[in-house]
Structure 1
Amino acid sequence: MSAVYINSAACISVQDTLNENFLQSLKPEYSTLVLKAIEPAYKEFIPPAMIRRMSKTVKMSSVASHFALKEAGVENPDAIIVGTGIGCSQDSEKFLKNVLDNNEEFLTPTYFIQSTHNTVAGQIALGLQCHAYNFTYVNTSSSLEFSLLDAKLQISDGEAENILVGSTDEQTERTMELYKLNKTIKKEENLPVDFLNSETEGVIWGEGASFFVLGKDKTENSYTQLTDIQITNKLDLEETQQFIEDFLAKNNLTSNEIDVAILGFSGDAKSDVYYKNAMSLFKNSALLYYKHLSGEFNTASGFSTFMACHILKNQEIPDVMMINDLKKQEIRNILLYNHLGGSDHSLVLLGRA
């Protein structure tokens, strides 16, 4: 199978990641339960008449995909693949509220039509007039990983040359209320959060959109080589290290050859034990975390993939992400490990382009 490269990366997040100098202005968030994305001036990219009809996740994705395609120099990709956990939940809530407010009568179909998870990929395709393969993966915290795997297989098999891959999730008022009630989000009294040594359950919730262009050819601007992906729905705690070691062995690597391991510590004491278990494998690696910068959400791994791309390209690790103080002179291999609440575990291996 031929190599697959990530040739561009764009991200809208709770950090100012559209700014070229964002690495110098990363600010950890320990004391806010729900983090809002820093949004661009949408009218610079989307006609005002369309903006009014778009939910937040569609707007974020439209702009992030625009930047990703522009950076890669691709006008029309051979496929558009998007991963999302809760999709266009703003429009879903608006539709359900209309059903209740109007006693199930005289409903306008707009919110229902735009509430489907594949609205994002569809809107991007409409904007580009792209009639190619268009697919949406909805697999909670491994939605992006399934999207990357699909794109990697298509490029490796010669079915496509350049594919736009993205991940996106938004917040809605009612969903955040429910997440607080079921203790997905932490209680106020448990703030500020110690992400690495938390003793309480729940997380700080975020949102964002990350888009990448994957290609079969290495370019001058290539960030990284997408080496491999592994996904499993359920994993017993004692199986964690074997899961990682088997994945690395499949790629002819050992844990000693991983220069950077990026772990998805979320501040949830119940599920972060998987990351603590994995840490002991990487005694000779730089250990990083990132959800104190992005918040936890279904496709938070998009933020970590975006950061990993910049770390490999710049050969520099932001101090604010470091768990230990080990830095390698050359960064060749990065391993990303993520899950959500102890389910849907994913490993992504990136190599230097």
Structure 2
Amino acid sequence: MSAVYINSASCISVQDTLKDQFFPDLTAENSTQILKAIEPNYKEFIPPAMIRRMSKTVKMSSVASHYALKEAGIEQPGAIIVGTGMGCSQDSEKFLKNVIDNNEEFLTPTFFIQSTHNTVAGQIALGLQCHAYNFTYVNTSSSLEFSFLDTKLQINDEEAENVLVGAADEQTERTMELYRLNNTIKKEEHLPVDYLHSKTDGVIWGEGAAFFVVGKDKTETSYAKLTDIRISNRLDIEETGSFILDFLAKNNLHAEDIDAVILGFSGDQKSDVYYTKAMDVFPNSALLYYKHLSGEFNTASGFSIFMACHILKEQQIPEIMMINPVKKTEVKNILLYNHLAGSDHSLVLLERS
């Protein structure tokens, strides 16, 4: 497949990423079990009557997609593709609570209708009155990467010229309780967490939404060229190096051609070993991490792609993301490596446009 271009990028996250020049204000979050996204004033974007019926995922996605389309100067995308790990879980919990509270009788269907994973893509399309290709991917931590693969197919097959693609996940009270019980979320006594040298299991959980407009042509607003993506559901720890090097070789690159590597260190000692292995492949590259800024969640890779886009465009790496002291005079190629709890490994290769 030929490369496509990321022509705009928007993100709602734990950081104030909607504003311009947010690099200096990035702050690490390592002492709280659960991180909440900084939300905009939704009334500026969504009619009040609609806000009441929207889950947090839908609201965040609606605003992030609005910013992405506005920056790209696109009114009607040729396709809308969304990735999510948990979907609109707030409404799912509300529906199940109603089932229990009402003894399975006299149930209103609203929460059930709005709890489906494709609600996000559907609501964006309704807001835009867009009747184009509309698809949702639910592939845990590689949901966004699958969405980007589909985006490349849509553009390469000339089904669309510009695609609105993004990912979003929200937190819900009951799910967070369950995550605490099964030790997905780090215990209070193990905080604050050292993301790079953690000796305990579990993560700090976050949330957010990241949306991009991807097109077949480079524009004045282009952030990066989306060169290639690779996904593997399972990976043996000893295969990490070959997994990365084979991907680079397929794109006629060597490890020394990668200027920066963004790794998904989450503070979970069991699964972070993959990233430690990956670091050995790149002795001369700038090594970066990001989940101390965003928290871990199913589509946290959206935050890392958003950060990579800004690094490529501004040719500046925030100090707070740096693992090693390597600094490049020019950042041309960035490799992003992510997984969730050791499953669904993904590689994304971005090039300066």
Q: CA deviation at 1:154?
A: 1.4
SS in 1 for 2:297: coil
Is residue 72 of structure 1 aligned with residue 83 of structure 2?
no
SS in 1 for 2:217: coil
Task: State the alpha-carbon separation in 1 of the partners of residues 160 and 99 from structure 2.
Answer: 43
Amino acid at match of 1:155: I
Which blocks of at least 5 consecutive residues in structure 1 are unaligned?
A: none
Q: CA deviation at 1:350?
A: 0.2
Is residue 161 of structure 1 aligned with residue 135 of structure 2?
no
Task: State the alpha-carbon separation in 1 of the partners of residues 316 and 158 from structure 2.
Answer: 33
Q: CA deviation at 1:3?
A: 2.9
Task: State the alpha-carbon separation in 1 of the partners of residues 233 and 3 from structure 2.
Answer: 27
Task: State the alpha-carbon separation in 1 of the partners of residues 11 and 218 from structure 2.
Answer: 21
Contact 2:184 2:203 (8 Å CA) reproduced: yes
SS in 1 for 2:123: helix
Contact 1:2 1:216 (8 Å CA) reproduced: no
Deviations 1:244-282 (A, max 9, x none): 000000000011100000000000000000000110100
Task: State the alpha-carbon separation in 2 of the partners of residues 152 and 285 from structure 1.
Answer: 27
Task: State the alpha-carbon separation in 1 of the partners of residues 192 and 2 from structure 2.
Answer: 46
SS in 1 for 2:19: coil
Which residue does the alignment assign to 2:201?
201
TM-score between both structures, scaled by the size of structure 2: 0.99
Which residue does the alignment assign to 1:343?
343
TM-score between both structures, scaled by the size of structure 1: 0.99
Task: State the alpha-carbon separation in 2 of the partners of residues 258 and 287 from structure 1.
Answer: 10
Task: Give runs of aligned pairs for residues 188-337 of structure 1, distance below 5 A.
Answer: 188-337=188-337
Q: CA deviation at 1:21?
A: 2.0
Task: State the alpha-carbon separation in 1 of the partners of residues 315 and 126 from structure 2.
Answer: 37
SS in 1 for 2:38: coil
SS in 2 for 1:75: coil
Deviations 1:58-111 (A, max 9, x none): 000000000000000000000000000000000000000000000000100000
* Aligned positions, number: 353
SS in 1 for 2:193: coil
Task: State the alpha-carbon separation in 1 of the partners of residues 220 and 170 from structure 2.
Answer: 33
After TM superposition, which residue ranges in structure 1, 4 or more long, deviate above 4 angstroms?
none
Amino acid at match of 2:263: L
Which blocks of at least 5 consecutive residues in structure 2 are unaligned?
A: none
Which residue does the alignment assign to 1:9?
9
Task: State the alpha-carbon separation in 1 of the partners of residues 327 and 145 from structure 2.
Answer: 27
Deviations 1:141-176 (A, max 9, x none): 000000001001211222210000000000000000
Contact 1:197 1:267 (8 Å CA) reproduced: yes
Deviations 1:312-353 (A, max 9, x none): 000000000000010111111000000000000000000010
Q: CA deviation at 1:212?
A: 0.1
Task: Give runs of aligned pairs for residues 23-34 of structure 1, distance below 5 A.
Answer: 23-34=23-34
Task: State the alpha-carbon separation in 1 of the partners of residues 298 and 284 from structure 2.
Answer: 30
Q: CA deviation at 1:24?
A: 1.1
Contact 1:92 1:111 (8 Å CA) reproduced: yes
Deviations 1:258-307 (A, max 9, x none): 00000000000000000001101001100000000000000000000000
